[in-house]
Amino acid sequence: MKRFSLNFYSSEDGLKPIEIFLDNISDRKLLAKILRDFSLLEDFGNKLRSSHSKYLRGGIFELRSKQSTNIVRCFYFFQHDNQIILTHGIVKKQNAVPAEEIVKAMNYKTDWEKRNR
């Protein structure tokens, strides 16, 4: 049994950015790797090692997935009852995660918390 429950952030109009991101990944091996990493996140949550997960700021974490030369970051946050909310993802093109992606994840978190009190 999984220790944590993964959920996709959904905007007020039903948009799920992480789902859109995953649907647009054409490399099947990369997609399989991301889904395996989601499973690890469900199993280990906040105990996942830094090679897979890293705290960024404002309650936002990144899940790190790599397949060959493709590097993906999926952003998430924790909520009560061992819930993990996945917000969105990016294909990483530079060393640092762009600040605007962290801000975007923080905005999704704020929106989710307002609507799910």
What confidence tens digit (pLDDT) does each residue in 71-90 have? Answer: 999 999 999 889 999 999 99
3-state secondary structure of 85: strand
Mean pLDDT of all residues in 89-96: 88
| CA-based nearest residue to 111, from 80, 82, 87 | 87
Residues 98-110, mean pLDDT to the nearest whole number: 97
Q: How much is the pLDDT for 64?
A: 95
CA 48 centroid distance within chain:
13
Amino acid at 80: H
Q: Give the count of domains, the chain.
A: 1
Q: Is residue 113 pLDDT above 90, yes or no?
A: yes
Query: Residue 20's domain spans which residues?
Result: 5-116
Residue 59: give its domain's CATH number: 3.30.2310
What's the mean pLDDT in 34-47?
Answer: 95
